[in-house]
Amino acid sequence: MKHAQVHKLALMAMLLAFAVVLGVVDYAIPFPFVPGAKLGLANIVILVALYELGIGEASLIDLGRVFIVGGITGRIGQLGFFMSLGGAAASLLMMILLKFLARKMTIIGVSACASITHGFAQVAVYCLFVQNITAFYYYPLMSLIGIATGILIGILSERIIATKVIERQKEHYGFNQPKKKTVEPMAATSLIDESDKKEDESNHQP
């Protein structure tokens, strides 16, 4: 058991590293003309973690990513950091809600909805900070771009999950496996006693 948990932790650390790298790359790519719009590449890792590992693991990776990327880009304590934190928390919550309540939606739909929620939360945090709601005028355009990037991220996440690379890790090292159902042995009285059956037949011969 302990061996499995160590491997799970190593996998989570690797996913966190991927998320951080994608987050930093995301931060470096400006999206002109629409303030605050980003590709959201790090959400690929969060979605994969949520679908493959679970809520707790995805939450830890998401939170860790926000803090580490905030530290690398020097935004800890600044408005941009709190906007990222708010957006990440809101989008993760939306992913969790849709995954477990809207089971008919695929990962692509979940990703698109989470992307819109991310944008909303970021703008809301900004407006709360500066006590001015002007920034909400940008939100409709941000939503459209968020839907497009969310669909893209969802498609990429779906492809990654389809490769079963994490699935194989889970099976091999034995963590996050679904619980096996134990089969109850059938009751002895339900079996037909062959010897009783033959005795009956002999009693009924003309």
The Cβ-side half-sphere exposure at 159, using a 13 Å CA radius, reads 7
Shortest Å distance, C-beta 14 to other proteins: 29
> How many residues in the shown chain lie near other proteins by CB under 8 A?
34
Sign of CA dihedral 139, 143, 144, 149: positive
Stretch that binds other proteins, among 64-72, 87-95, 136-144, 160-168 (CB under 8 A): 136-144
140 contacts other proteins (rule: CB under 8 A): yes
Nearer to other proteins among residue 104 and residue 180 (C-beta): 104
76 contacts other proteins (rule: CB under 8 A): no
Nearer to other proteins among residue 32 and residue 178 (C-beta): 32
SS3 of the chain: CHHHHHHHHHHHHHHHHHHHHHHHHHHHCCCCCCCCCCCCCHHHHHHHHHHHCCHHHHHHHHHHHHHHHHHHCCCCCCHHHHHHHHHHHHHHHHHHHHHHHCCCCCHHHHHHHHHHHHHHHHHHHHHHHHCCHHHHHHHHHHHHHHHHHHHHHHHHHHHHHHCCHHHHHHHHHCCCCCCCCCCCCCCHHHCCCHHHHHHHHHHCCC
Sign of CA dihedral 149, 154, 159, 163: positive
129 contacts other proteins (rule: CB under 8 A): yes
x/- binding map, residues 26-65, to other proteins, per CB under 8 A?
A: ----x-xxxxx-----------------------------
203 contacts other proteins (rule: CB under 8 A): no
- Binding other proteins (rule: CB under 8 A), the pick from 76, 144, 161, 176 is 144
- Binding other proteins (rule: CB under 8 A), the pick from 101, 134, 178, 194 is 134
- Binding other proteins (rule: CB under 8 A), the pick from 9, 10, 25, 102 is 102
Nearer to other proteins among residue 105 and residue 161 (C-beta): 105
User: Applying CB under 8 A, which residues contact other proteins?
Assistant: 30, 32-36, 79-80, 83, 102, 104-106, 108-109, 112-113, 116, 126, 129-132, 134-135, 137-141, 143-144, 147, 151
